[in-house]
Structure 1
Amino acid sequence: MNRTQLIKRMAQLSDLPQTTCKATLTQLEAVICKALHEGETVYLPKLGVFEIRHHLPRSGRNPQTGAEIQIPLRTVAAFKPASQLKQAVSG
């Protein structure tokens, strides 16, 4: 399902116009992005947790040359699904 299909499905289920659903989805995305940027964790019951994870710097090897390289610190957004979401997907 892509973004357009999600908006259409939201409109069907809520009996709201697609423009309202699109605006709501856009605001939800913006709020989650801003919260993660500020270092907050976003917990949505029944769905899961959006959080920031830090991967420490480490050494690695260039697979083409075999030379050792330093891999810098990385900060990534992560999603951990709630148990209810896992159950819904599995059965």
Structure 2
Amino acid sequence: MINKQYSITQAPNYWYDIMRGVEQGYSIKLTRNSEVVAMLVPAQYEQPPKQNFWQALEIFRQQVNIAELYDENVFSDVRDRCPGREVLL
């Protein structure tokens, strides 16, 4: 979303306002003779490309050792071990 524009000659005088706007998520155009020559965008636009599920799963499998995460005693005290009530037929 482009919200403001400044000419290159104005930019030094409004640098604080320009940077504050970019920090708040605005995109700022810089112009020369009414033509856009540059655009300042928030850093969030520099995120790496998104992966699909299978790519993310493969990366996860490479980075995490599932065997280290497994703990057989995790649910040991959760299940009720009593045989239950008697059922009459």
TM-score w.r.t. length of structure 1: 0.30
| Greater radius of gyration (CA) | 2
Question: Which has more helix, going by share of residues?
Answer: 1
Question: Which has more strand, going by share of residues?
Answer: 1
TM-score w.r.t. length of structure 2: 0.30
